[in-house]
Amino acid sequence: MSLINTAFEGLKRLYGHLSRVQRTVIVVTLAMMLMALVLPSSNQAPPGMTRVSLPLSVDDSEFQGFSAEKSDDEEPKGHLYYVVAKGDTLSKIFENLGVPQATLYQLLEADVNVLALDTIQPGHKLEFQFDEKERLTRFTFRSGLTYMVDFTRGEKDDFEFVEHIEKGQHRSEVFVGTVQGNLHLSMQNAGTSLAEAYTVSNVLKTRMNFRKDLRAGDQFQLVISRQYVKGQYTGNSKIEGFRYLGKRRTLEIYNFDGNFFDEKGRSLEKAFQRIPLKKRYRISSNFNPRRRHPVTKAIRPHNGTDFATPMGTPVLAAGDGVVTRVIRHRYAGLYIQIQHGRKYRTRYLHLKKAYVRKGQKVSRGQKIALSGNSGRSTGPHLHYEFHINNRPVNAMKAKIPEVKTIASKHRKKFKAMVKTLTARMETFAKAQQDELQQAQRDAG
Ligand SMILES: [Zn+2]
């Protein structure tokens, strides 16, 4: 409290030293900041437009090559470049440049097909081309290094557009590091971006318990394919391979056709198997939310699917998750509930024996129980429930992310890829190790 008071007193004294003009500026700025907080953004910008930027800054060099269609002999006269900065709107930019609002609306009409101008942000680049009557004939929007939309005034006086997406060059890079502190920081120390570190840890955490499995000094290796445009990293990248070589855990991740798999070709995505059993059993009772009681005729929904499993049939976790319940219930019998992320939940009823405890992490396909006949049951079976957003759905028909395994025809290609990536990571790690030892010898 005293700290705040001291700061406030300091500010008051400082304010006292300011000139009248300075004070006015401060008051007006504060008032504007307050208004910006209070007023909804729709009061500040026309609908469909995002608030953006400030001063007119010309940066020709940045645009070299981006106006690929611009011929070199063309007069630069009537050309204007604008870098979007903080605090301005698209309409304000047009106003400052003396471009009629009607022209802006024509552009926005064309933009409805791409919605590029909706996402205008500080740092984005605008390019204007006017004719001798100062009419806007061409307008180019560029975000980042890879995306550009080119609007040209057509014959009917409206604007036509062409979208350009720069492919750039992809460079595959190897990174090797050791765990010191948390994984994100350790990966960034090894040269990855925070986004890349997150991508990896999101896949990893489906299989690893960071608190238990991570040890200081554990080694990790990565191959990342990064996109470059004119030698500049665009921020777009793809994790090609990752190996975690720990004292407690070893885990490998490989990207194949946009999906992550372990070294054996098993999917590492959050996926489910449709049936929580090793093989198909006869369905003795289907999911039926409108089922009526045979005697009372009251609606007694059957929120699950019953499989006619003999006593002691292994029951498997339908997906990766955390066991949230292992309960012996009067009617449901011994049952298990697993939470799979926030959205999905599964339940397994009438069990004979449970192999998991509450709070335990399980992975897809893991044996969690033996089926039985416990609780109120007319005979040995497994009652299986699948919930999406806390609502039971028909597990046999619901849209659920299903298991992807690498098709046998792609196996050879996958294995070859794993071999190549592993060799690259190992070579890099070895070179790094040799260098370190050499440095130590030199120092000693
Ligand atoms: Zn049932």
Q: Please tell me the distance between residue 366's alpha carbon and the centre of ligand 1 in angstroms.
A: 22
List the single range of 17-26, 142-151, 232-241 with lowest mean pLDDT. 17-26
pLDDT: which is higher, 62 or 400: 400
Q: Return the CATH number of the domain spanning residue range 77-165.
A: 3.10.450.350
Q: Given CA atoms 32, 33, 35, 41 in this order, what sign does their dihedral have? A: positive
How far, in Å, is the centroid of ligand 1 from the Cα of 270? 26
Cα–Cα distances (Å) from 378 to 126, 273, 286, 331, 351, in that order, read 72, 27, 15, 11, 13
User: Does position 57 have pLDDT exceeding 80, yes or no?
Assistant: no
Higher-scoring residue by pLDDT: 142, 268: 142
In tens, the pLDDT along 256-308 reads 877 789 999 988 877 899 999 999 999 999 999 888 777 667 777 889 999 99
CA 26 / ligand 1 centre spacing (Å): 69
Distance 295 CA to ligand 1 centre (A): 18
Tell me the CA–centroid distance for residue 271 and ligand 1, in Å.
24
Give the pLDDT score at 341. 75
Please report which confidence band the pLDDT of residue 360 belongs to, taking 50, 70 and 90 as the band edges.
very high
Q: Of 46-50, 130-134, 314-318, give the range with the top mean pLDDT.
A: 314-318
pLDDT classification of 165: cutoffs 50, 70, 90: confident
Q: What's the CA-to-centroid distance between 50 and ligand 1, angstroms?
A: 52
Least confident of 10-19, 51-60, 119-128, 256-265: 51-60
CA 282 – ligand 1 centroid, Å = 13
Q: How far does the centroid of ligand 1 lie from the alpha carbon of residue 275, in Å?
A: 14
Centroid of ligand 1 to alpha carbon of 92 (angstroms): 64
- The pLDDT of residue 403 is 66
State both tokens at 197: 């570190």
Which pLDDT band holds residue 325 (cuts at 50, 70, 90)? very high
- Could you tell me which residue, 399 or 352, shows the higher pLDDT? 352
Find the 62 Cα to ligand 1 centroid distance in Å.
65
Which residue has tokens 């926005």? 108
pLDDT digits (tens, 9 = 90+) for 387-400: 987 788 999 998 88
The answer to whether domain 170-261 and domain 283-393 are alike in fold is: no
167 CB-near residues (< 8 Å, 6+ apart) = 146
pLDDT(111) > 50: yes
How many A from CA of 364 to the centre of ligand 1? 22
Residue 335: pLDDT over 70? yes
Assign a CATH topology to domain 170-261.
Nuclear Transport Factor 2; Chain: A, (3.10.450)
CA of 276 to the centre of ligand 1 (A): 14
Rounded distance from Cα 382 to ligand 1 centre (Å): 7
Query: Could you tell me the residue ranges of all domains in the chain?
Result: 2-38, 77-165, 170-261, 283-393
Instruction: Name the one residue in this structure whose structure tokens are 């992975």.
Output: 363
Give 377 Cα–ligand 1 centroid separation in angstroms: 8
Interacting residues of 380 by C-beta distance below 8 A, sequence separation 6+: 308, 309, 310, 311, 350, 371, 372, 373
Span 283-393: which CATH code?
2.70.70.10
Phi and psi at residue 137, to the nearest 5°: -110, -25
Ligand 1 centroid–CA 387 distance in Å is 14
The overall average pLDDT reported for the chain is 82
- For residue 383, the CA-to-ligand 1 centroid distance in Å is 4
CA 299 to centroid of ligand 1, rounded, Å: 15
Q: What is the largest CA-CA distance in the chain?
A: 90
How far is 320 from 365, CA to CA, in rounded Å? 8
CA of 342 to the centre of ligand 1 (A): 24
Helix, strand or coil for residue 411? helix
Ligand 1 centre to CA of 348 (Å) is 10
Give distance in angstroms: CA of 304 to centre of ligand 1: 5
Ligand 1 center from residue 303 Cα (angstroms): 7
- pLDDT band, residue 52 (cuts 50/70/90): very low
Q: 414 near 257, Cβ under 8 Å?
A: no
Which range among 188-197, 239-248, 373-382, 403-412 shows the weakest confidence by mean pLDDT? 403-412
